[in-house]
């Protein structure tokens, strides 16, 4: 039975890591869009209450706007927490990938003029859009 070479396995593993990082970064950008949406929806009732000071005369309307702002802030905080969590996970995966690359990407035995590491960084940037 033919087993793939060790370097081929390393590249397959690096490819899987790069795809996972790319997937997580896409998820982060999607979550950030939702986070900004809820931030705007949180600020709108507050701004409306402050700008239209006549609402202060009707305490019930002002209270309703602040309740809406509070609910919006809770959703915003939820998405903010998820964005931070995914960002940390992506950062960890990037450093894991970087460590895998440093720990045996090429077989040149760390020659003085080996460009394998730099070439692979360029490859990751060109193919996956990842900057390590």
Query: Which one of 18-27, 59-68, 116-125 scores highest in mean pLDDT?
Result: 18-27
In a domain, 15, yes or no: no
Structural domain for 96, as ranges:
20-128
Compute the half-sphere exposure of residue 72: CA atoms within 13 Å on the CB side of its CA: 18
Residue 19 confidence (pLDDT) above 60:
yes
Contact 87, 28 (CB under 8 A): yes
Between 86 and 96, residue with greater pLDDT: 86
Listed in sequence order, the DSSP H helices in 52-110 are 59-102
The answer to whether residue 1 is domain-embedded is no
Residue 7 lies inside a defined structural domain of this protein: no
| Number of structural domains the chain divides into | 1
Distances (CA, A) of 100 to 17, 78, 104, 109, 117: 10, 33, 7, 15, 11
Whole-number pLDDT of residue 54: 63
Report the interhelical angle of 59-102 vs 116-128 (nearest 10°): 140
How do residues 38-68 score in pLDDT, each as one tens digit? Answer: 988 888 877 777 777 665 666 777 777 788 8
| Residue 78 belongs to some domain of the structure | yes
* In a domain? residue 75: yes
Q: DSSP 3-state helix, strand, coil percentages of the chain (rounded to 5)?
A: 80, 0, 20
Q: Has this prediction a pTM greater than 0.75?
A: no
């Amino acid at each position: 039975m033919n087993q793939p070479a060790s370097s081929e396995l390393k590249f397959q593993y690096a490819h899987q890591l790069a795809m996972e990082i790319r997937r997580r970064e896409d998820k982060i950008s999607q979550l950030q869009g939702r986070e900004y949406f809820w931030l705007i929806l949180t600020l709108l009732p507050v701004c409306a209450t402050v700008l239209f000071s006549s609402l202060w005369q009707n305490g019930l309307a002002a209270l309703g706007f602040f309740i809406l702002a509070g609910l919006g802030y809770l959703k915003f905080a939820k998405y903010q927490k998820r964005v931070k969590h995914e960002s940390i996970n992506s950062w960890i995966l990037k450093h894991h990938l970087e460590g895998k690359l440093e720990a045996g990407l090429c077989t040149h035995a760390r020659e003085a003029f080996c460009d394998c590491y730099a070439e692979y960084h360029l490859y990751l940037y060109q193919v996956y859009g990842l900057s390590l």
